[in-house]
């Protein structure tokens, strides 16, 4: 009895997920199955449309709906939480879903850029222990968990229905996404040096002086010459709450 019920439920699930490639379960009217299909697929499509409005508008319904149908039919999400489906969709695109649908090459980055806002808004990560007034040169500067330096090949902040680029620009789009005290996510453009510094803070656990020395070596500058400018940048980032202070 249990095996029969299990088989019936799995047959229905496969059909609702992908009616083009799976037979309907026996004994259920096509009309009722269509209602279930529309209910489940409609919920997922509506959720993703709300999370990726620019991507949806840029692709248009002829590309958007087949993309969501493919995601719904083929991708196996690793979470049952609706709040995390947007992240699963970004993973699906990055793992080949966009290429399989023949979509423009900027789709993956634009989706990630839109996802970042929701991810930061919903983040429950707490800030680590830190010294708010610590020495940013000799101490270890600590980047806020709610401040993300981002780099994109495509101009994700400009893409929309009226601007669909065919070639990536020579310079990357460098962005800082930060959730502020107002519980809103703010995006700002970053200069290459600022992005490189934030990226270094994110990846390496060392003193501010060592971070700046490494950057000076990369750009071919004297480490002592770059210190005043680097320290001013670190202090400015601390004032904005991007850098919390030094590691406690």
Predicted structure pTM score: 0.88
Q: From start to end of 132-233, where are the E strands?
A: 141-143, 147-152, 173-179, 185-189
Three-class SS of residue 243?
strand
Examine the domain organization and report whether 163 and 69 are in the same domain.
no
Examine the domain organization and report whether 135 and 213 are in the same domain.
yes
Examine the domain organization and report whether 239 and 134 are in the same domain.
yes
Residues with Cβ within 8 Å of 8's Cβ and at least 6 positions away in sequence, in order, are 25
- Domain hosting residue 234, numbered range: 128-248
Examine the domain organization and report whether 203 and 117 are in the same domain.
no
Q: What is the CATH number of the domain that holds 53?
A: 1.10.150.690
Examine the domain organization and report whether 190 and 221 are in the same domain.
yes
**Strand bridging mode 173-179 / 147-152:** antiparallel
Which among 45, 41, 73 has a CA at the least distance from the CA of 59? 45
Domains of the chain: total: 2
Examine the domain organization and report whether 145 and 94 are in the same domain.
no
Give the separation between CA 119 and CA 112, rounded to whole angstroms: 10
Please say if the pLDDT value at position 208 is more than 80: yes
Examine the domain organization and report whether 180 and 76 are in the same domain.
no
Segment 214-247, tens digit of pLDDT: 999 988 888 788 899 999 999 999 999 999 999 9
Q: Which among 97, 122, 147 is the end of a domain?
A: 122
Judged by average pLDDT, the poorest of 21-30, 32-41, 185-194 is 21-30
C-alpha distances in angstroms, 96 versus 36, 38, 103, 105?
A: 28, 26, 10, 11
Examine the domain organization and report whether 84 and 186 are in the same domain.
no
Which among 55, 65, 161 has a CA at the least distance from the CA of 108? 55
Q: Which among 90, 105, 122 is the end of a domain?
A: 122
Return the residue matching tokens 């980047």. Answer: 143
Give the separation between CA 247 and CA 2, rounded to whole angstroms: 56
**Strand bridging mode 185-189 / 243-247:** unpaired
Examine the domain organization and report whether 117 and 90 are in the same domain.
yes
Mean pLDDT confidence for 192-212: 95
Q: What is the CATH number of the domain that holds 154?
A: 3.90.930.50
Q: Which among 55, 87, 122 is the end of a domain?
A: 122
pLDDT recorded at residue 3:
67
Examine the domain organization and report whether 142 and 204 are in the same domain.
yes
């Amino acid at each position: 009895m249990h095996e029969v019920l299990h088989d019936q439920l799995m047959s229905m699930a496969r059909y609702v997920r992908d009616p083009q490639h799976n037979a309907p379960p026996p004994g259920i009217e096509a009309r009722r199955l269509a209602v279930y299909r529309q209910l489940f697929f409609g919920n997922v499509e509506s959720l993703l449309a709300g999370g990726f409005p620019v991507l949806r508008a840029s692709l248009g319904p002829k590309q958007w709906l087949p993309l969501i149908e493919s995601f719904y039919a083929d991708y196996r999400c690793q979470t049952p939480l609706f709040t995390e489906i947007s992240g699963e969709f970004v993973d699906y695109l990055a793992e080949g879903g966009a290429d399989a649908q023949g979509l423009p090459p900027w789709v993956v980055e634009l989706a990630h850029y839109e996802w970042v806002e929701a991810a930061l808004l919903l983040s429950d990560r707490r800030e680590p222990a830190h010294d708010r007034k610590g020495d940013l040169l000799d101490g270890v500067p600590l980047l806020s968990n709610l401040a993300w330096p981002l780099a994109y090949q495509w101009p994700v902040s400009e893409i929309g229905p009226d601007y669909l680029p065919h070639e990536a620009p020579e310079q990357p789009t460098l962005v800082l996404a930060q959730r502020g005290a107002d519980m809103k996510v703010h995006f700002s453009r970053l200069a290459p040096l600022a992005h490189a510094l934030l990226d270094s803070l994110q990846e390496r656990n060392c003193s501010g002086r060592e971070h700046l020395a490494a950057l000076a070596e990369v750009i071919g500058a004297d480490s002592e010459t770059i210190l005043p400018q680097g320290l001013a940048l670190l202090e400015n980032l601390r004032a904005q709450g991007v850098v919390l202070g030094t590691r406690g």
